[in-house]
Structure 1
Amino acid sequence: MAVLAVLSFGAAGAWLAVRAQQARVAVEALKTDGKVLQSQLEAYDLVAAGQTLAQVREDAQRARGLTSDPVWGAASYVPVLGRDLYAARQVSAVMNDITQSARPLETALPKLRPTGTAGNQGQLDTAAIQDVAEAMPALSAAVSSGAVKVGEIDPGPLRPEVADGVSTLSSALESARGPFADAVPLLQQLPGMLGSDGQKTWIVLLQQDAEARGTGGLVGAFAELKTDQGRMVLSDAESRSALDRGPAIRSSVVPQNLREHYGKDLTEWAGFNASPHFPHTGELAAKGWNERTQQRADFVAGVDQNVVASMLAATGPVKVRGVTIDSSNAANFLSKGVYARWNNPQVVDAVTTELVQAVFGKFSSGEFSMPTLIKSLREPIRERRLLLWANDDEVQARLEQLSISGTIPGDPGPFAMTVINNGGGNKMDAYLQVDTKYDPGTCTNSARVGQIAVTLDNTAPKDGEGLPSYVNVRTDLIQRGFTGRATRDGSNRIVLDIYGPVGSSAVLTQLDGSTVIPVTGLDNNHPVWRLSVPIAAGQTRTVNVVMSTPVVEDDAGQIPVVLNQPMVKPATSSTEPLSACKTSSVVGG
């Protein structure tokens, strides 16, 4: 009996050794093909990626088969060696599950052609996009589940080569969880956005961040696009002056408290995007468009100079009135250069409109590189420079799961946002640097006392020296009867709105250390504290709001949400996690 046991154990050991060698070969093939797949996806070589994805699936399936037999399973409990075997088994199982979930992408990806051509007018295969969208939820779930399983493996006791593989896969899966989950809502709606179920009308607003508004900047020009069965056609492009001729926007589509805070600005195309909550802008734009044209706008998009630069990276340069505009100079051209070259506002509007026509015209004809577009838009999307609203409640609800919706979350919790609206009637916000520091503070019992500190730095040259008149003008002062140098000295007036946590109240507001009384409003449940802040060229001003906020249960350790408004000079912010609340009691006698 003992001899039989020894022979059996020896046979199992030999079998395991053979299997281990085979598994190592399979895992190496998996690693090699995985790197190839990653490079192909980064290069947006979708035809090759589909083929490689099938190979990766076969590699994972082979590795899974080699590590899932009973002998391997039993050996996983052997001291020391068992840890390596268990890790190999788990990793193989995870990769097998993920690649099986991704199997529909093997045929769908090659149909997403990476570059538009004039022959197909830039048409995208909406059926293939739908196939990808349908596969994504299962793939996202597999990635999340795999991340949990691999994360439970302690790499410490493993052999270096095994530990390295576990750590690498764990890191890759963890970093992929968010993007996969975030991609699902947008991918599910993308075929409809591209007109798979009938023609859609898009209104694209070009926001000039040099004259700040809540969602970015003053609308300088707009484009009307039509999408139908994956094709995009530019129907119209004009300067905002075409919209200014009326009719006025009926602001009744947004909440009463918003109308009370922002007033008549919401009825004008020059100020209707004063709130940073882009769904408000979308609703107002759609309502205004309907009143102007008697047509429905299915989607409203907001883009700024950085998005235009990203689009030019995909289309290549365009020439406008003898000036070559490309991805390297577009942001500066739209923020400063166009005003320095032409001092007539009407000409500036015309040039901006011609640039919009040239860029979107290239997209209509398919003269763009899809991989370059996807890569170059990542940063503008992260910075809330590309915003999207849908005139359909179900679609909009899905979009609001994503940052691209420009939504200001309306739920209780630690939150801060500094919002700049230009009050000087100029383009001086191109020189404004904004920094926000949110200190959630400490709490006792049911209240947390914290502070939002905002620093405003006007980096314009002293006395506005060298700035074009159109940029430098203080329209607000001229309207009040001022004349002379004071109306063009590099100064500005900032309408500053500080958004605080839901339910909070300001107990102290200071401007440069002196106590002031802010105008108080409400936007998407958030209290808003407003100050009008004059600022000279080269001056730095600080605003501090000390606030009391109701405690949200179990909020200790939570990282506050601090959002930055898109600006020419990117706004900065900082915060720290919430500390645990203290409880106290008062004993009276």
Structure 2
Amino acid sequence: MPRLSTRTLVAVCGALLAVLVAGFAWVGVRAYLAKGELEALVPVAGDLVDAADARDLDRLGRAADTLASHASAAWTLTRDPAWGVAQAMPVLGPNFGAVRTVAANLSAVSTSAVGPMLELAADVQHDDDTEADGFDLALVERAQQPLAGAASALATADRELSGIHGDQLLAPLADGVSRLSSAIAQASPLVTSLSRAAEVLPGILGAEGARSILFVLQNPAEPRTGGGVTGAFALLEADDGRLSLVAQADSGVFPGRAEPIVPIPDSTVALYGDVVGRFVPNTSMPADFTLAARLASAWWQEHSGTAPDAVVSLDPRVLAALLEVTGPVTLADGSEVDSANLVQRVAVDAYFELDRDAQTEFQQGVTQTVLSHVMSGGIDILAWIEALAPVIDEGRLSVWSAHDDEQRLLADGALAGPAARHTAAGADGFALYLNDATAGKMGIFLEADAGIGSVECRPDGRRDVVVRVLLTNIAPADAGAEFPWWVTGGGLEGTEPGHIALDVTVAAPPGSFFGGVTRDGELAPSTNVVDAGFPSSLARVDIAPGGTTVVEARFTMADPRDVAPVLLTTPLLRDVSVDDAFSAACAG
């Protein structure tokens, strides 16, 4: 066999080195060009936001075209085989991989999400008829395909971007990836919910025959897991997109029962006692909205003799959001209710200015007037989406269908209630639920500031996650003597008037281990069960007027890994602040 000479080896090595240098130079040039394309998208993102705020579709279209052009160019530049080789390099390789992932998903989102959504928006604007009556179901059906494509593209981008390890990237790239990932993560569940809503709305709204929809009105002045005490019901009939109010009922017309109206899981009873299913006001105590909706349906069927086709749970913030679109309404007494004062008038002032009978009459009058006003004209779908997005994100609006094919589409989306939202939050998702134990409306004076953080305390690498909530009773010192008994609860449940008694529940991801609950730094009695699939710890607190208390619930994660905990909360009358950078400490 011939032997390679030293000169030949040097020549071969030199040629290989030349190829590598040329290859890296080629990749370097393409990386520089791709960087320029991606950087050009920064001002485009600002244009998109400004145009969306102004609802300027022409400007949005131009910005979207620019987005698509730069994103496609960046994706083309990163598809070169040499780029794949660069991804395998130590140290810098993950940066090349991240740029390629970002470029690919930006291109896909611009093509499959932004473009079709803008075409849909133009279609909606062109067909908009504010004088029409109800929902344009044909338009909703035309929206199904573009929404499905947008949802798929955003879900893929969310999954792939969340898989990028920011700690392996150069700082500027890590920051950009983080901001893009956060934006996609926020948009994806909303668009997915809109897509599923477009699939089920025609049926729910009577496209194939009249349907009944039970609106369950939650009152956050008395907190419950799902938002507030179930204070009232309104039955609407939907026929070919047109809605009409059929009947209303206050919670007071539903007598308590000796046994639950539907079977209640043992875990839910362990947390909240046997009051779930026996009293209408506790309908929204379960985190499982399917159970809550079945409770509402059963209560209504017992009251009226017929079960609804769908259940919609909402609170006053949702009605206020609708008034942002439709404008104010005038009540029978000549006063005006608008998006700015509805919550205050319905959930606060009514309890201090009216007796109990007058409260019911006023609140039913507001509900009837607002719903009739909303349903009296055409539905501006774009405006509704814009107005309802924040309250959906806060968990103030939930939907359930008695029809299995529709419920399958609703079951795990943003409109599916607390437990479904918790599941959608992922493997690091936690939830904080507050349930009033005062039997009054002291939630008016409840402030909650929450935090969540993780810490490594164990040799096996499993991290502890701590959920902390600072609860404040901002009622005046003389609340117990000066407030009406229906606000303070009158001591009926053993709580001193003026105090706020709360059941504080923290639910952790499936498989997590209980780590105990403390109140103001001292170990507190707690109930610990797995409810709706989530390990859940509950502790009761009592807060005097002007007082505060701090509750911390600790869990150990199921697996040894990095954790980026997310916290969902019960939507209260006053917004709950959440600090996701809370500095947790080891127990003891």
Cα deviation code 1:13-66 (max 9, x no counterpart): xxxxxxxxxxxxx99x999999887655544466x58986997799789989x9
CA distance in 1: counterparts of 2:469 and 2:43, whole angstroms: 50
Task: Name 1:473's counterpart in structure 2.
Answer: 488
Contact residue 53 and residue 106 of structure 1 kept, 8 A: no
Gaps of 5+ in 1: 1-25, 71-88, 157-162, 481-485, 582-589
Which residue of structure 1 aligns with residue 298 of structure 2? 287
User: Within the alignment, does 1:426 sit opposite 2:440 as a pair?
Assistant: yes
Cα deviation digits, residues 288-334 of structure 1 (max 9, x gap)? 33343443433322212222211111111112333311111112222
**1:127 positional shift:** 2.6
Write the distance in 2 (CA, Å) between the matches of 1:92 and 1:574. Answer: 31
CA distance in 1, matches of 2:521, 2:130: 60
Distance in 1, matches of 2:101 and 2:513, equals 51
Distance in structure 1 (CA, Å) of the matches to 2:462 and 2:471: 29
CA distance in 1, matches of 2:131, 2:310: 25
Name whichever of 385-394 and 37-46 sits farther off.
37-46
CA–CA distance in 1 between the matches of 2:470 and 2:77? 59
Displacement of 1:565: 1.0
Distance 1:58 1:401, change over 3 A: closer
Alpha-carbon contact 2:517-2:539 (below 8 Å) kept = no
The answer to whether structure 1 residue 553 and structure 2 residue 534 are counterparts is: no
Which one of 572, 575, 583 corresponds to residue 577 of structure 2? 572
Does 1:225 pair with 2:236?
Answer: yes
Aligned-partner SS, 1:179: helix
Alignment-derived partner of residue 119 in structure 1: 132
Aligned residue runs from structure 1 range 257-406, under 5 A: 257-261=267-271, 262-320=273-331, 321-342=333-354, 344-366=355-377, 369-406=380-417
What residue in structure 2 maps to residue 13 of structure 1?
none
CA distance in 2, matches of 1:173, 1:446: 26
CA distance in structure 1 between the partners assigned to 2:516 and 2:251 by the alignment: 40
Tell me the SS of whatever aligns to 2:282: coil
1-structure distance, mates of 2:103, 2:453:
45
- Check the 8 A contact 2:445/2:475 in 1, yes or no: yes
Following the alignment from structure 2 to structure 1, what is the Cα–Cα distance between the partners of residues 256 and 159? 54
Report how many residues are paired.
527
Paired with 2:477 and 2:252, the residues of 1 have a C-alpha distance of 32
CA distance in structure 1 between the partners assigned to 2:136 and 2:511 by the alignment: 48
Deviations 1:258-313 (A, max 9, x none): 23433133222111211234333122222333343443433322212222211111
**TM-score (norm: length of structure 1):** 0.72
Residues in 2 aligned to 1:506 and 1:54: alpha-carbon distance in whole angstroms: 48
Distance 1:518 1:270 in 2: 24
**Alpha-carbon distance in structure 1 between the residues aligned to 2:507 and 2:369:** 38
Work out whether residues 453 and 543 of structure 1, in 8 Å CA contact, stay in contact via their aligned partners in 2.
yes
Q: Do residues 454 (structure 1) and 459 (structure 2) align? A: no
Alignment of 1:175 with 2:183, yes or no, is: yes
SS of the counterpart of 2:449?
strand
- Looking at structure 2, the residues matched to 129 and 562 of structure 1 have their Cα atoms a distance apart, in angstroms, of 32
2: distance between equivalents of 1:105 and 1:506?
44
1:482-536 per-residue CA deviation (whole Å, 9 max, x = no partner) reads xxxx964x22322333334544555554444444432344311333333332321
Structure 2 equivalent of residue 255 of structure 1 = 265
Shift of 1:236: 2.7
Residue of structure 1 equivalent to 2:27: none
Kept after mapping to 2: 8 A contact 1:249/1:287? no
Summarize the Cα distance change of 1:349–1:98 in structure 2 as closer, same or farther, 3 Å threshold.
same
Shift of 1:445: 2.2
What is the DSSP-based 3-state SS (H/G/I as helix, E as strand, rest coil) of the residue aligned with 1:311? helix
Q: Distance in 1 between matches of 2:252 and 2:530?
A: 30
CA displacement, residues 403-435 of structure 1 (integer Å, 9 cap, x when unaligned): 332232469955543322222221111111123
Q: How far apart, in 1, do the equivalents of 2:516 and 2:108 lie? A: 56
8 Å contact kept, 2:433–2:505: yes
User: How far is 1:566 from its partner?
Assistant: 0.8
Query: Does structure 1 retain, via aligned residues, the 8 Å contact 2:318–2:391?
Result: yes
Distance 1:191 1:520 in 2: 39
Letter in 2 for 1:421: N
TM-superposed CA distance for 1:572, in Å, is 2.8
- Structure 2 equivalent of residue 528 of structure 1: 536
**Match in the other structure for 2:218:** 207
Cα offset for 1:573?
3.2
Q: Is the 8 A contact 1:112 1:129 kept in 2?
A: no
TM-score (norm 2): 0.72
Change (3 A) 1:94 1:536: closer
SS at match of 1:120: coil
Partner of 2:418: 407
2:551 to 543, 548, 556: 543
Listed one character per residue, the Cα deviations across residues 63-115 of structure 1 (whole Å, up to 9, x for unaligned) are 89x999x9xxxxxxxxxxxxxxxxxx999998876665466667644442485
RMSD of equivalent CA atoms = 5.0
Question: Gaps (5+ residues) in structure 2?
Answer: 1-36, 81-99
Which of 239, 249, 269 does residue 238 from structure 1 map onto? 249
Q: Show the counterpart of 1:444.
A: 459
- Cα deviation for residue 351 of structure 1 reads 0.9
Separation in 2 of the partners of 1:500 and 1:177? 20
Confirm or deny: 8 A CA contact 2:101 2:160 kept in the other structure: no
Aligned residue for 1:462, secondary structure, equals: coil
Once residues 578 and 468 of structure 1 are traced to their aligned partners in structure 2, the CA distance between those partners, rounded to angstroms, is 39
1:495 corresponds, among 503, 511, 516, to 503
